[in-house]
C-alpha cells in the first residue's frame, strides 16, 4: 500500500522504451508540484486508476512498434506538451495516461477521485468525480469534462469498470458494429475481461449463442456464469478443435479482443456473411504475435472484417450509460474487478492485463483511500 500524505503529489512517467510486456523499470514514480487550478477546473485526489490494454500501443517501443497504434493518422493531433496530450503516442519522460482518450469529452478520463478544491460552480470539495487523464495522485481536471458521481447510487469505481471505457468499448462494438441477430453464434475472446464481460452478457440477453475464450479454468467458469454456453480454455485446449466440437455449423460473429495466434482458427470457422469485429489485440501489442487474414476467404464467404476504436463513438455514451445503469439496477449485469494498490503497481497491472495473467474482470489500481460510502478506506 502506498497511500500518500495529503499534501504530496506524485506521478508515473515513462522512463524508457518498452520491450514487450511492461516492467516496473520502464517507468519512474516522481514527485510533482501540487497542481494549481484554473477557472472551471477541479483539484482532484485520484483514488482509482483504470488499467486497459489499449494504452500499450501508445507507449514507446524498444525496436519496431507493431502496426496497431490506435488513432494513427486520425487527425486528432495534440501538442508536444503533454498537458495537451498527443493522442497517438506517449513519449519518454511524459506522464503515463490512464487511458487512450485526450479529448474534452465527459467519458475521456480513466480515473475517479475526490474533489479537494473547486473553481467550477457544479462541484464542491468532497464530491467524487470521474475524469482524470493521468497516473498521478493529484490532478487538475476540467469540470466540464468530468462526471459527478453519486456514491449512494453506484460504487465510485463503477465509472472505470461497469461504466468505464472498456465496458463502453464492448457495448459499442456489439451495438454499433457487430450487427448481431438472435440465434447467431458469437465467439468472444478475452471473454472474462472488461470488454468481454459486457459483450457476453449483452449477447446472451438477446438470444445469441455465446462461446467465450479465456485463459484458465477459473476465468472460464466465470464466463459461463455470465451466460456463455461454453468457454474454451485457450491454455488447455486447441481453440479450433474446441470450436469444431462446440459449434460444428460455424461461427457468425467473432468479437476479437485478443488478436494474435488465436485469431485465425476462429476466423477460419466463420460462416458466410460472418463478421470479425477487431476490437482489441492485446496479444499483439507487445509485438510477439501477429495475425493476418486471407482476402480470398473474405470474398468467398462474403465476410466483413471491421476495426473500431471507442474514441469514435462519443455520441453514444449517454445511451450506453442509460442502458448499463438500468441493467445493473435490475441486477442483471454481473461484474468482476481486481484491485492493485499504489502507483508503483500500474506497470504490473498493465502487464497482467496484456498477458491475461490476472484473475479476469476489470483491473484497477487504487492509489489513495476510498472515503466514499462503502469505499476501501485508508
Interacting residue ranges for its own copies, rule: CB under 8 A: 57, 66-75, 250, 259, 263, 271-273, 278-281, 284, 290-309, 312
Q: Using CA atoms in the order 217, 219, 222, 227, what is the torsion angle rounded to 10 degrees?
A: -90
- Calpha distance 22→56 (Å, rounded): 9
3-state secondary structure 222-265: HHHHCCCCEEEECCCCCHHHHHHHHCCCCEEEEEECCCHHHHHH
Q: Give whichever of 125 and 272 is closer to its own copies, judged by the CB atom.
A: 272
* Nearest distance, CB of residue 144 and its own copies, angstroms: 27
Distance (Å) of CA 194 to CA 188, 191, 277: 12, 8, 16
Task: Say if CB 130 and CB 160 are below 8 A apart.
Answer: yes
* Nearest distance, CB of residue 143 and its own copies, angstroms: 30
* Nearest distance, CB of residue 46 and its own copies, angstroms: 29
Beta-bridged to residue 148, according to DSSP, are: 129
Q: Give whichever of 290 and 371 is closer to its own copies, judged by the CB atom.
A: 290
* Nearest distance, CB of residue 178 and its own copies, angstroms: 13
Q: Give whichever of 15 and 311 is closer to its own copies, judged by the CB atom.
A: 311
Query: Which residues neighbour 344 within 8 Å (Cβ) at sequence distance 6 or greater?
Result: 2, 24, 29
State whether residue 326 is helix, strand or coil: helix
Q: Give whichever of 65 and 343 is closer to its own copies, judged by the CB atom.
A: 65
Task: Say if CB 182 and CB 206 are below 8 A apart.
Answer: yes
* Nearest distance, CB of residue 273 and its own copies, angstroms: 8
Question: Which three cell numbers, joined as nine digits, stand for 133?
Answer: 487523464
Total number of residues shown for the chain: 378
Q: Give whichever of 15 and 270 is closer to its own copies, judged by the CB atom.
A: 270
Q: Which residues of 304-330 are buried (b: 16+ CB within 10 A; e: fewer)?
A: bbeebbbbebbebbeebbeebbebbee
Q: Give whichever of 38 and 75 is closer to its own copies, judged by the CB atom.
A: 75
* Nearest distance, CB of residue 237 and its own copies, angstroms: 23
Q: Give whichever of 224 and 290 is closer to its own copies, judged by the CB atom.
A: 290
Strand 209-214 versus strand 230-233 pairing type = parallel
* Nearest distance, CB of residue 168 and its own copies, angstroms: 16
Amino acid at each position: 500500500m502506498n497511500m500518500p500524505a495529503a499534501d504530496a503529489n506524485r506521478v508515473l512517467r515513462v522512463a524508457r522504451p518498452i520491450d514487450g510486456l511492461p516492467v516496473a523499470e520502464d517507468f519512474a514514480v516522481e514527485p510533482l508540484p501540487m497542481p494549481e487550478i484554473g477557472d472551471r477546473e477541479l483539484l482532484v485526489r485520484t483514488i482509482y486508476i483504470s488499467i486497459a490494454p489499449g494504452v500499450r500501443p501508445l507507449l514507446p517501443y524498444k525496436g519496431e512498434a507493431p502496426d496497431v497504434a490506435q488513432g494513427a493518422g486520425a487527425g486528432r493531433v495534440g501538442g508536444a506538451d503533454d498537458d495537451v496530450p498527443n493522442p497517438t503516442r506517449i513519449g519518454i519522460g511524459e506522464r503515463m495516461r490512464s487511458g487512450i482518450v485526450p479529448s474534452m469529452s465527459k467519458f475521456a478520463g480513466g480515473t475517479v477521485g475526490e474533489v479537494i478544491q473547486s473553481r467550477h460552480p457544479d462541484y464542491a470539495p468532497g464530491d467524487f468525480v470521474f475524469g482524470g487523464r493521468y497516473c498521478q495522485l493529484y490532478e487538475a481536471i476540467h469540470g466540464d469534462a468530468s462526471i459527478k458521481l453519486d456514491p449512494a447510487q453506484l460504487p465510485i469505481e463503477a465509472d472505470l469498470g461497469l461504466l468505464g471505457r472498456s465496458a463502453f468499448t464492448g457495448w459499442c462494438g456489439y451495438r454499433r458494429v457487430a450487427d448481431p441477430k438472435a440465434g447467431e453464434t458469437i465467439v468472444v475472446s478475452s471473454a472474462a475481461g472488461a470488454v468481454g464481460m459486457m459483450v457476453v452478457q449483452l449477447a446472451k440477453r438477446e438470444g445469441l449463442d455465446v462461446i467465450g475464450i479465456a485463459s484458465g479454468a477459473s476465468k472460464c467458469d466465470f464466463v459461463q456464469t455470465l451466460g456463455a454456453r461454453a468457454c474454451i480454455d485457450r491454455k488447455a485446449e486447441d481453440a479450433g478443435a474446441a470450436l469444431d466440437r462446440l459449434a460444428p455449423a460455424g461461427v457468425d460473429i467473432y468479437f476479437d479482443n485478443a488478436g494474435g495466434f488465436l485469431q485465425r482458427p476462429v476466423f477460419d470457422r466463420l460462416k458466410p456473411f460472418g463478421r470479425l469485429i477487431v476490437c482489441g489485440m492485446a496479444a499483439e501489442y507487445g509485438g510477439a504475435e501477429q495475425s493476418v487474414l486471407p482476402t480470398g476467404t473474405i470474398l468467398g464467404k462474403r465476410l466483413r472484417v471491421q476495426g473500431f476504436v471507442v474514441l469514435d463513438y462519443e455520441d453514444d455514451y449517454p445511451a450506453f450509460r442509460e442502458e448499463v445503469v438500468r441493467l445493473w439496477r435490475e441486477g442483471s449485469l454481473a461484474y468482476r474487478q481486481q484491485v492493485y494498490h499504489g502507483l508503483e503497481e500500474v506497470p504490473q497491472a498493465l502487464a497482467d492485463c496484456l498477458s491475461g495473467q490476472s484473475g479476469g474482470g476489470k483491473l484497477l489500481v487504487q492509489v489513495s483511500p476510498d472515503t466514499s460510502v462503502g469505499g476501501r478506506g485508508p
